Structure 1
């Protein structure tokens, strides 16, 4: 298929424009057909029964994408096609017309095993046989070493996951997923499914994935392209609102940081009302009416008439900028009416000419001035009087004092905008001019978004749908949401349904049970997760006399094992740990650091390029490693603003392991963990 596409000749186009369009289409097609030769194109087979209405006795191979032969006949059917649904949903009780389902096992692109399930077995046969056999290939896939970025899970999607993946485009879904349940993979595969099922619509409207940080996006970045989907965009919440800043002015950048209490207050939903009040307070009715000289006549619009026009525009519920653009036409229409009453016969051209006159434009600008959203927010944070008027009855005097800048900048271009400030500016910009809506948005780790951040994400899918992914037990920001009901309301999707995933396919049983000791404190209302894996995993908790020496020894042992290694450390100890690894000569990368120039592996390379990563605790969320070394749990807890948030951060870090977890500590463990 790649060869056929590459052989297409754009010179066959009828003109230059058509040739450019054809070359672009061929290039996009080649990018979509790019593939990793070590990843098998098919992983399953369906043999349909003769009685099936649509596929009488036919056989289909199921794979990551559609593959056809020279004459266009399908060799492999895309996993998202309707005919592939029974591969994920069929069972002996509901065979869905399938006689036999075969699953293939691969290692490094080479077929190593296959398993058959006879879904039409005679009554009385043991129903557990096929399920027991399948678990071997499933577990082999789960246990496969985690070297490199995240990979797709199309071969092992489970029925409860498939229900979410294939949810209709118009449905918004919230997935509450415990560690290792595959919620991120489910969200990405739902995006791939929707792009396949609604290709034309979503190619126009767009699909966006919002992740918690840049390291996480690099980790998941290959999943959609591996499934042939290259149209979805990926960004962080900072990238999302930062783009709004840059559109307003290239000099507006996020370069500051707020204290936890300030950022929490700026993320409060009441700030939306404060900003709305501040914006609409810009509309002023002048003390005098409009006077327009035209020819020998002077036409007047009285002040009370202007007030009526302004009130009518505000009652329409349109954006500030749209109403501002309508005002000159409304004033011109009122003058046109007066001309008609005086016996003239003006037409629409006269109204347009009146609306463009200098007098009308000046008057309209005075009544309804243009607003720079960044200057509006700057005024709120820098001027106590402006903030007091906008926040009256919404924020207390103490809260207003918390918001105010100690040293206000002279202009928005010199301000050290924080992420929370950028979110407020994004809110103001949407009130001025409606944010374009995408067709679908996937929001991962959504439990860590403030109400105002959730509103920013919701604006991007106001007429589309969303897939919200997260775990309330892993909420590690001071402004994090405490319930999905509230989060969905802030997103503007209150009718979205919540799906819970509690069966873990990644974290070993012994590890998840140890981490679950924290749940009664950090998320008492959540159902504890369970591991479906046979292997219990390896858990070692050791108190050591010296952390640095013990870390180097444990790291040297871990580096010799098969698979990826993540050394998770309190953020404050990253430099100390990196120095110890360098002295020990252990090749590693430091997550979150981008070295300039050629990569020196001995000194620490680019993340995911080597199988050993030093991971600051604040960046561990969403990642997974075969082997995890976790240093000083008490230090991880102490690194957060409060104890509950710190325990949630520790819960995240404890649940990153796929095979083994080694905990090293010199300080006493948090009492919630009990004894190892």
Structure 2
């Protein structure tokens, strides 16, 4: 066995050296060609292709590939070793076999989809399905041109061929830094199926904590750009993430995959930019507690909670009725007369409005009608008998034109939104029928907000929809593909509005219902999303395998779901065992609490961990704790939502801001009934906090803890400090 390993290692080392030499030669040759800066279009295209190849080769030369697959197609007489990397590299001399195959190429799908066995397998190529046999599946780790590891996960010539998780466990055991990394070398079969799904499909992905759903979505973008290069562009794709820090956290993945220029934003930032709102959004943490008041303290988040209603298709229909009512009453009563003796009849204006300019949205229709009236006036002015009369008529016409324009409704989303929730008849004679069905709590709370010019994130979807109905959208605003991360916190209304901005219902919608800590505005079931699309335009995938945490952490977190949330969305761990979860009680005083948190931080930070976090229940508690720890000499970062970047190292932050992030070790502070109640919403918060940890999880608490923190299985959780 040792001899076989040495032989494989030597074989791969020689192949690596040959590959690096070939890539280096190609790169030097291209670098030796002068960069073309002239104006000849053909030469510009050729130079762009050369520069693209220079960049690709420069990225490939240090780590050219990560896997090898020996495959023999049925029509071939011999098996061929296929080396798979992040970026494809051709041989300098054109041959049948590329030097490195791009991981997104059809044949490379076998590296991910093949899960062992003696039977033949197949992949879909442009010319049809190719069937054949896999003889070898090998993972390699190359860092800075050095071969560090060779691991065969399948070998047909062994007595017991089987696919092993040994290489995956090795990669998962690596410590975490302050950036999410690509998973090209460890994509699993169920993840690959999502990545390679057809473009014009709304994919809905339910993924347990640590299932890699975010990374899978980013790899899907890279695949779509490769597979549909003639139909989509990076500039027309967008990722919606929960906050700016999370965007920074994922920012390295796409460049590592050789993909740039994909837009990244929060929904709020994007919507505010479209709407050009001057009113700032209410703070997210304050909004959470605000809506909580309307649940009567029971935390029952039904459809009469304002955030839920504002995200409903019921409100979307109401707004459609509002605009339809506005459409029939927009043209002012009476004829238009710019001066005595000149009359443009209302019937003529209605004809322009209802016939000639009917295809235009309302705001553009008004603009066109007013331009038509202005042209009519100019023709009438030419009939003036003298310069003096012309001058008088122009002056009078200018005033009357402005006055007539003000009689039209103001086509501004915020004004119309306020009209809707004031429940008043306006000068445009909006029908009261369009207001029926708004729950009293929604009407009252929103009236109070809008009176003070308070706009919450849940208001943005209605405002965007009004904007769309008034103005439509430009081609520059339309996307080729949209990724929505943490989609359980999005409403059906949000997704329905986004569908107006994307071609072909092309979505990747991913989230975890068990992490729905913003359930006052998000979805409770994925059917609320899938019902927005035709059955043949949507697909659902469930990722149940968790790759982030140790078995002990995952099983402990599953207990929280089972007992506190009554959820069946349990995670299946990869076999990677670690230390048990620790439940550590405080003393009774504030001093004892702070001392315990400091001791926990010191113990964990003394280990070889790159990232350690303390998670508090609220932002106020995070700020207070940070001030105390810094005052006692700790070098620790506060994450409060104001920073654009996650710095790694030691951090303190509220649980709700930790979503999407992961740390080598986590301390959950104040895990007691004074901070986490028995309700499902509290259990979800605790679940989010616990599942941020890769290797170690310590839970520090006061006297009484929620029932869902108990563990019935041995060796998963232990009491007290490590010895």
**Structure 2 length normalisation: TM-score?**
0.76
* 2:262 equivalent to 1:219: no
Say whether 1:43 aligns with 2:70.
Answer: no
Closer, same or farther: CA 394–328 of 1 in aligned 2, 3 Å: same
Corresponding residue of 2:13: none
2:661 is the counterpart of 1:661 = no
Residue 100 and residue 615 in structure 1: after superposition, are their counterparts in 2 closer, same or farther (change >3 A)? same
How many residues end up aligned between the 2 structures? 622
Q: Please list the CA deviations of residues 327-373 of structure 1 after superposition, one character each: whole Å capped at 9, or x if unmatched.
A: 57999999xxxxxxxxxxxxxxxxxxxxxx99998899578655122
Q: Is the 8 A contact 1:637 1:647 kept in 2?
A: no
2:578 aligned with 1:542: no
Which residue of 281, 285, 288 maps to 1:254? 281
Q: Decide whether the 8 Å contact of 1:202 with 1:439 is kept in 2.
A: yes
Equivalent residue number for residue 152 of structure 2 = 116
In the aligned structure 2, how far is the partner of 1:407 from the partner of 1:89?
53
Q: Are 1:528 and 2:560 counterparts?
A: no
Q: CA deviation at 1:194?
A: 0.5
Q: Which residue of structure 1 aligns with residue 625 of structure 2? A: 577
- Answer whether contact 1:181 1:506 (CA < 8 A) is retained: yes
Q: CA deviation at 1:290?
A: 6.3
1:147 matched residue in structure 2 = 177
Match of 2:639 in 1: 591
Per-residue CA deviations over 1:351-399 (Å, capped at 9, x if unaligned) read xxxxxx9999889957865512233234445675559937522214443
Deviates more, 1:204-213 or 1:476-485: 204-213
1:347 corresponds in structure 2 to none
Residue 517 in structure 1 maps to residue 568 in structure 2: no
Whole-angstrom CA distance in 1 between matches of 2:680 and 2:186:
35
**Would the aligned equivalents of 1:384 and 1:404 in 2 still touch at CA under 8 Å?**
no
Report 1:616-655 matches (<5 A).
616-634=654-672, 638=676, 643-655=679-691
Displacement, 1:408? 2.8
Maintained 8 Å contact 2:363/2:471: yes
Q: For residues 118-150 of structure 1, what are the alpha-carbon distances to aligned partners after superposition, in whole Å with 9 as ceiling and x for unaligned?
A: 55449xx43xx432xx32211000111112200
Q: How far apart are the structure 2 equivalents of 1:389 and 1:31?
A: 62
Q: CA 1:444/1:593 → structure 2, altered by over 3 Å: closer, same or farther?
A: closer
- SS of 1:623's partner is coil
Q: Report the CA distance shift for 1:208/1:607 in structure 2 as closer, same or farther (over 3 A).
A: closer
Q: Conserved in 1, the CA contact under 8 Å of 2:112 and 2:192?
A: yes
**Distance apart, 1:438 and its partner CA:** 0.8
Question: Structure 1 residue 482: deviation in Å?
Answer: 0.8
**Closer, same or farther in 2 for the Cα pair 1:628/1:399, shift >3 Å?**
closer
- The 3 A distance-change label for structure 1 pair 473 and 580 is same
Pick closer, same or farther for the CA change 1:242–1:288 going to 2, 3 Å. Answer: closer
- Distance in 2, matches of 1:196 and 1:655, equals 33
CA shift for structure 1 position 67: 2.7
The question of 1:422 aligning with 2:460 is answered: yes
Q: Which runs of 5+ in 2 are unaligned?
A: 1-25, 123-131, 295-305, 377-396, 712-716, 718-723
Cα displacement (A) at 1:522: 5.9
Answer with 156-165 or 380-389: which moved more.
Answer: 380-389
Matched position secondary structure for 2:704: coil
Cα deviations by residue, 1:429-448 (Å, 9 ceiling, x for unpaired): 11112234311111110001
Q: Name the counterpart of 1:602.
A: none
Deviation at 1:673, TM superposition (A): 2.4
Structure 1 position 467, deviation (Å): 0.6
Do the aligned partners of 1:44 and 1:101 also contact (CA within 8 Å) in 2?
yes
User: Shift in Å at residue 238 of structure 1?
Assistant: 1.3
Report the alpha carbon displacement of residue 281 of structure 1 after superposing the two structures with TM: 3.8
**Aligned counterparts, 1:266-415, within 5 A:** 266-282=310-326, 283-289=329-335, 303=347, 319-324=361-366, 369=409, 371-381=411-421, 384-385=424-425, 389=432, 391-405=434-448, 408=451, 415=453
- Cα offset, 1:574, TM superposition: 0.9
**Relative to structure 1, is the Cα distance of residues 373 and 28 closer, same or farther in structure 2, using a 3 angstrom cutoff?**
farther
Are the equivalent residues in 2 in contact too, given 1:505–1:533 (CA < 8 A)? no
SS in 2 for 1:371: coil
Measure how far apart 1:82 and its partner are.
Answer: 1.1
Give the 5 Å matches for 1:77-88: 77-88=101-112
Report if aligned partners of 1:290, 1:363 keep a CA contact under 8 Å in 2: no
Distance 1:201 1:380 in 2: 40
Residue aligned with 1:103, SS:
strand
User: Measured at CA, do residues 306 and 185 of structure 1 come closer, stay the same or move farther in structure 2, by a change above 3 Å?
Assistant: same
2:53 and 2:505 map into 1 onto residues whose CA distance is 26
Cα gap change, 1:187/1:20 in structure 2, threshold over 3 Å: closer, same or farther?
Answer: same
User: Relative to 1, partners in 2 of residues 1:228 and 1:455: Cα closer, same or farther, differing over 3 Å?
Assistant: same
User: Aligned partners of 1:398, 1:582: CA distance in 2, in Å?
Assistant: 43
- Shift, 1:279, TM fit: 3.5
Change (3 A) 1:540 1:108: farther
CA contact 2:67–2:140 (8 Å) conserved in 1: yes
Asked if the contact 1:174/1:498 (under 8 Å) is kept, the reply is yes
Which residue of the partner structure matches residue 472 of structure 1? Answer: 513
CA distance in 1: counterparts of 2:206 and 2:674, whole angstroms: 24
Secondary structure in 1 aligned to 2:517? coil
Question: Quick one: structure 1 residues 319 and 643, their matched pair in 2 at CA, closer, same or farther if it must change by over 3 Å?
Answer: farther
In structure 2, C-alpha distance between the alignment counterparts of 1:13 and 1:469, rounded to whole Å: 46
Higher deviation after alignment, 461-470 or 267-276: 267-276
Q: Distance in 1 between matches of 2:664 and 2:576?
A: 16
Please say if residues 153 and 167 of structure 2, whose CA atoms lie closer than 8 Å, have aligned partners that are also in contact.
no
Aligned-partner SS, 1:467: strand
Equivalent residue in structure 1 for 2:531, among 470, 489, 503:
489
Please say if 1:105 is aligned against 2:105. no
Taking structure 1 as reference, are residues 281 and 27 closer, same or farther at Cα in structure 2, changes over 3 Å only?
farther
Q: Unaligned regions of 5+ residues in structure 1, if any?
A: 335-356, 410-414, 596-605
Q: Quote the Cα distance in structure 2 between the aligned partners of 1:493 and 1:317.
A: 29
In structure 1, how many angstroms separate the alpha carbons of the residues matched to 2:28 and 2:280?
A: 45
8 Å contact from structure 1 (residues 437, 463) kept in 2: no
- Counterparts of 1:668 and 1:87, CA distance in 2: 50
The residue aligned with 1:14 is 39
Matches within 5 A, 1:127-146: 129-131=161-163, 134-146=164-176
Of residues 95-104 and 65-74 in structure 1, the stretch that sits farther from structure 2 once superposed is 65-74
Q: Deviations over 1:210-256 (max 9, x none)?
A: 1111111111111111000002111111112121133xx6x454356
Whole-angstrom CA distance in 2 between matches of 1:608 and 1:399: 36
Tell me the alpha carbon deviations over residues 485-532 of structure 1, each in whole angstroms, 9 at most, x when there is no partner.
112335788841211111112222221121112324665453321102
Cα RMSD of the aligned pairs, angstroms, is: 4.0
Match of 1:345 in 2: none
Kept in 2: contact 1:32–1:225 (CA 8 A): no
8 Å CA contact 1:31–1:230 kept in 2: the answer is no
* Residue 603 of structure 1: aligned partner: none
Provide Cα deviations, 1:621-671, integer angstroms capped at 9, x if missing partner: 1111121111122379549xx932222111111111111111111142211
Residues 528 and 273 of structure 1: is their aligned pair in 2 closer, same or farther, counting only changes over 3 Å? same
Cα separation, 1, equivalents of 2:676 and 2:55: 47
Structure-2 separation of matches of 1:568 and 1:612: 11
Quick check: 1:566–1:612 contact (8 Å CA) kept in 2?
yes
- 8 A contact 1:543–1:664 mirrored in 2: yes
545-554 vs 283-292, which moves further: 283-292
